[in-house]
Amino acid sequence: MRVISGTARGRSLKPVPGMGTRPTTDKVKEALFSMIGPYFDGGHALDLFAGTGGLGIEAVSRGAEMAIFVDKDPRAVEVVQHNVEVAGMKEQCEVYRNDARRAIKALTKRGIQFQLIFLDPPYRLKDADELLMSMWNGGLIARDATIVVEHDARHQYPSSVGPLYVWKLADYGEIALTMYKISDDAPVDASQAVLLN
């Protein structure tokens, strides 16, 4: 695993030990950022269920102003801290050990808004849509935000979650990416999203 592009390009990222974490492959990461970026002009990123921190680190490398990483696994938190340091981003990153729902409540109190949100929960969890609603209700999602949910390709998330609508869908074998944006007139049907292979 490595940082693919930007200021930290080529830096190697340490994986989380054990089989509990499933890092986003370089191939999927490259495809993902070419869809949502590929580069950014500032903005805040949230890497919930951070694992190695690869997505948030990539976002900062490509121009995001700062990133917040959350994971409840102490080994993952240690790895993210290491990877952030290796990438030379210590000043732009905050790393927390916390449960996703508690983290959302804590971030809501801080009044931060995110332009980029990455959710890559363990595949047994299928409640990313509920977490998105909590984020929206807490004012964490900026009007111009892009949200990426990485999940088991056999699971399908709804075409709209509150004011969020599926903007793009991408399928990579067992892995799928469902990307949401905000719209006042969100499409009712996911078939209106751009389907990518």
The whole-number pLDDT of residue 26 equals: 87
In a domain, 139, yes or no: yes
Domain count, the chain: 1
Question: Quick one: pLDDT band at residue 113, thresholds 50, 70, 90?
Answer: very high
In a domain, 69, yes or no: yes
Name the residue among 171, 167, 150 with its Cα closest to residue 47. 150
In a domain, 7, yes or no: no
Whether 159 has a pLDDT exceeding 80, the answer reads yes
Task: Give the C-alpha separation, 194 to 149, whole Å.
Answer: 15
The whole-number pLDDT of residue 179 equals: 97
- Percent of the chain with pLDDT strictly greater than 70: 91
Give the residue-averaged pLDDT of 54-60.
98
CB proximity list for 187: less than 8 A, separation 6 or greater: 159, 160, 165, 166, 193
Two structure tokens written together for 62: 């490509």
Whether 71 has a pLDDT exceeding 90, the answer reads yes
Task: Give the C-alpha separation, 82 to 23, whole Å.
Answer: 15
In a domain, 46, yes or no: yes
- The runs of H, that is alpha helices, within 62-122 are 74-86, 100-110
- Residue for token pair 């990461």: 29
Question: Quick one: pLDDT band at residue 9, thresholds 50, 70, 90?
Answer: very high
The whole-number pLDDT of residue 160 equals: 92
Whether 131 has a pLDDT exceeding 60, the answer reads yes
Buried b (16+ CB within 10 A) or exposed e, 22-32: ebbeeebbeeb
The whole-number pLDDT of residue 19 equals: 59
Give the residue-averaged pLDDT of 40-47.
97
Q: Is 91 helix (H, G, I), strand (E, B) or coil?
A: helix
- The CATH number of the domain holding residue 55 is 3.40.50.150
In a domain, 15, yes or no: no
Task: Give the C-alpha separation, 94 to 77, whole Å.
Answer: 11
In a domain, 179, yes or no: no
Whether 14 has a pLDDT exceeding 80, the answer reads yes
- Percent of the chain with pLDDT strictly greater than 90: 82
Whole-prediction pTM: 0.91
In a domain, 80, yes or no: yes
In a domain, 195, yes or no: no
What is the domain range of residue 109? 26-154+167-173
Task: Give the C-alpha separation, 132 to 105, whole Å.
Answer: 12
Are 33 and 54 in contact by the 8 Å Cβ rule? The answer is no
Angle between helices 26-36 and 54-61 (to 10 degrees): 50
Average predicted confidence (pLDDT) for the chain: 91
Give the residue-averaged pLDDT of 12-16.
94
Are 65 and 86 in contact by the 8 Å Cβ rule? The answer is no
Task: Give the C-alpha separation, 23 to 182, whole Å.
Answer: 27
* Strands 141-152 vs 114-119: parallel, antiparallel or unpaired: parallel
Whether 18 has a pLDDT exceeding 90, the answer reads no
Whether 31 has a pLDDT exceeding 50, the answer reads yes
Bridge partners of 87, per DSSP, are none
The whole-number pLDDT of residue 24 equals: 82
The whole-number pLDDT of residue 185 equals: 63
Name the residue among 104, 162, 173, 90 with its Cα closest to residue 138. 104
